[in-house]
Chains A and B, each alone.
Chain A
Amino acid sequence: MEIGPIFRAMAQKKIGVVLLVAEIAVTMAVVLNCINLVMDNRARLMIPSGVDEDNIFALSIQSYGDDFSEDEFVDQIRQQDLDLIRAQPGVIAATPISPLPLQGGGSSTQRKVVGAINDTLVRTPIYTVDEHFLETLDLDLIEGRAFTQADILPRLADDEQPAAPRPLNIIITKALGDALFPDGDALGKVITSANDQAANTIVGIVDYMHTSYDNGASGMEYRIVFFPGRPGGASGMRYLVRAEPAAFTDLFTDVEERLVTINSERIVRTTSLSEIKMGSQFVNVFTVRILTAIGVLLLSVTALGVYGMTSFTVTERTHQIGTRRALGARKFHIVRFFMVENAIITLLGIGIGLVMAFGLNAAIVSSASNASRLPFGLVILGVVIVWGVGAVSTLLPALRGASIPPIIAARSV
Chain B
Amino acid sequence: MILFHLKLALLSLRNTPRVSLISVLAIALGIGVATSMTTIHYVFAQNPLPEKSDVLFNVRIDTWDPDSEFFAVAPGEPPKAVTYQDMAGMQESTIPLHQTGVANGQIYVFPDDEINKPYQTVAQLVQADFFPMFNVPFQYGGGWTDDADRTREAVTVLSQAANDKLFGGRDSVGELIRLGTREFTVVGVLARYQPTPKFYDVVNSLAGQTNEFFVPFDLIREEELGLSVTGNTDGWGDGSTFVGDLIFTAAEWYWIQFWVEVEPDRQAEYVAFVDDYSRKLKELGRYPRPLNNRVTPMMDWISERNQAGETTVVIMILSMLFLAVCAINLTGLLLGKFLAKANRIGIYRALGAPRSSVFMQHIIECELVGLIGGAAGILLAMLALRLIVRMMPDLSGFVAKEIFRLDGTMIAVAIGLALLAGLSAGIYPAWRASRISPAMQINVT
B-binding residues in A (CB < 8 A): 15-16, 19-20, 22-23, 26-27, 29-30, 33-34, 37, 62, 64, 66, 69, 108, 110, 118, 121, 123, 158, 161-165, 194-195, 197, 214-215, 218, 234-236, 265, 267, 275, 278-279, 282-283, 285-287, 289-291, 294, 297-298, 301-302, 304-305, 308-309, 312, 360, 363-364, 367-371
Contact = CB atoms under 8 A, between A and B. Distances in A.
Contacts of A165: 239
Contact of A27 (B68, B325, B336): B325
A370 B307 CA distance: 11
A237 to B, nearest CB: 12
B332 to A, nearest CB: 5
A367 B310 contact: yes
Given A37-B314, A290-B37, A312 B329 contact: no
Nearest to A280: B393
Interface in B298-335: 307-308, 310-311, 313-315, 317-319, 321-322, 324-326, 328-329, 331-333, 335
B226 A234 contact: yes
B325 A235 contact: no
Contacts of A308: 22, 329, 332-333, 336
Nearest to B331: A19
5 contacts: A15-B335, A29-B321, A62-B119, A234-B226, A287-B315
B314 A26 contact: no
Contacts of B132: none
Given A26-B325, A305-B325, A308-B332, A162 B313 contact: no
B307 A301 contact: no
Nearest to B428: A15
A235 B230 contact: yes
A194 B328 contact: no
Given A20-B332, A33-B318, A301-B326, 12 more contacts: A19-B331, A26-B328, A30-B325, A62-B120, A64-B120, A194-B65, A234-B226, A236-B106, A236-B120, A294-B318, A301-B322, A368-B314
A94 B68 CA distance: 36
A290 B325 contact: no
A291 B318 contact: yes
A22 B330 CA distance: 13
A22 B321 CA distance: 11
B71 interface: yes
A49 to B, nearest CB: 17
A289 B391 CA distance: 10
Given A23-B329, A294-B318, A287 B228 contact: no
Contacts, number: 153
A162 B239 contact: yes
Contact size class for B?
Answer: 35 or more
B120 A22 contact: no
Interface of B: 22, 26, 29, 33, 37, 65, 67-68, 71-72, 106, 108, 110, 117-120, 181, 226, 228, 230, 236-240, 242-244, 307-308, 310-311, 313-315, 317-319, 321-322, 324-326, 328-329, 331-333, 335-336, 388, 391-395, 428, 432
A413 B211 CA distance: 76
A370 B117 CA distance: 44
Contacts of B335: 15-16, 19
A236 to B, nearest CB: 8
A279 B393 contact: yes
Contacts of B307: 215
B329 A305 contact: yes
Contacts of B331: 19
Contact of A158 (B37, B119, B244, B313): B244
B67 A194 contact: yes
B236 A194 contact: yes
B166 to A, nearest CB: 16
A286 B33 CA distance: 14
Nearest to B65: A194
Contact of B322 (A64, A161, A297): A297
Nearest to A121: B68
Nearest to A13: B335
A298 B33 CA distance: 10
B332 A19 contact: yes
B332 A30 contact: no
Contacts of A370: 310
A282 B333 contact: no
Contacts of B238: 163
Contacts of B318: 30, 33-34, 291, 294
A304 B329 contact: yes
Contacts of B432: 15
A16 B332 contact: yes
A69 B328 contact: no
B393 A278 contact: yes
A162 B238 CA distance: 9
Nearest to A302: B325
Contacts of B71: 108, 123, 214, 218
B239 A305 contact: no
B118 A64 contact: yes
A132 B366 CA distance: 69
A112 B307 CA distance: 29
Nearest to B319: A294
Contacts of B319: 294
B238 to A, nearest CB: 6
Contact of A283 (B228, B243, B311, B333): B311
Contacts of A195: 65, 67, 236-237
Given A15-B428, A23-B329, A197 B310 contact: no
B325 A364 contact: no
Nearest to A363: B317
B72 A214 contact: yes
A395 B30 CA distance: 26
Given A287-B311, A367-B310, A297 B67 contact: no
The list of the 9 closest CB pairs from A to B, nearest first, reads A368-B310, A305-B329, A64-B108, A62-B120, A163-B240, A118-B67, A64-B118, A279-B393, A23-B328
A163 B117 CA distance: 41
B325 to A, nearest CB: 5
A22 to B, nearest CB: 6
